[in-house]
Amino acid sequence: MNNMFDVNDKPKGLKRIISAAKNTARALNWLLKNEAAFRQEIVLLVMAIPLSFAFNISVSEQIILIIAILFVIFTEILNTAIEAVVDRVGLDIHPLSGLAKDLASAAVGLSLFIAILVWIAVLL
């Protein structure tokens, strides 16, 4: 059977890693140009990294603080991906489309809440 999605046609080894890195760079570049929330979260990360050195905490705790912000960014990327897929399927108003976007947005909100709790827990 001839399958147009033959897994044997996918790049392997170093070629796959290079391809994945290019895809990641293209996606991050797109996010920086098109998503204000992503840019705001990158600013938050850039501020959080040096700020983490201002506190008398361990390196492990600094890493936890930074990971908390990275988790928000990770969730924002998934939110944007869900929005893109929903918009690709159709721009017409549909309750399930709205629900998908609202749920993705709720995930971002929850990740922000988690990040705040992590920062409070580490700094207190």
What residue segments make up the domains of the chain, in order of their start?
Answer: 36-123
Whether residue 76 lies in the annotated active site? yes
Exposure string for 2-17, b = 16+ CB within 10 A, e = fewer: eeeeeeeeeeeeeeee
Amino acid making up residue 66: I
Q: Given this model, what pLDDT does residue 90 score?
A: 86
CATH T-level fold of 36-123: Helix Hairpins (1.10.287)
pTM score, whole prediction: 0.87
* The one catalytic residue among 35, 41, 61, 76: 76
What is the crossing angle of helices 59-89 and 36-52, to 10°? 180
Tens-binned pLDDT, residue by residue, of the chain (124 aa): 455 666 677 888 999 999 999 999 999 999 999 999 999 999 999 999 999 999 999 999 999 999 999 999 999 999 999 999 999 998 888 999 999 999 999 999 999 999 999 999 999 9
Around Cβ 28, how many Cβ atoms within 10 Å? 14
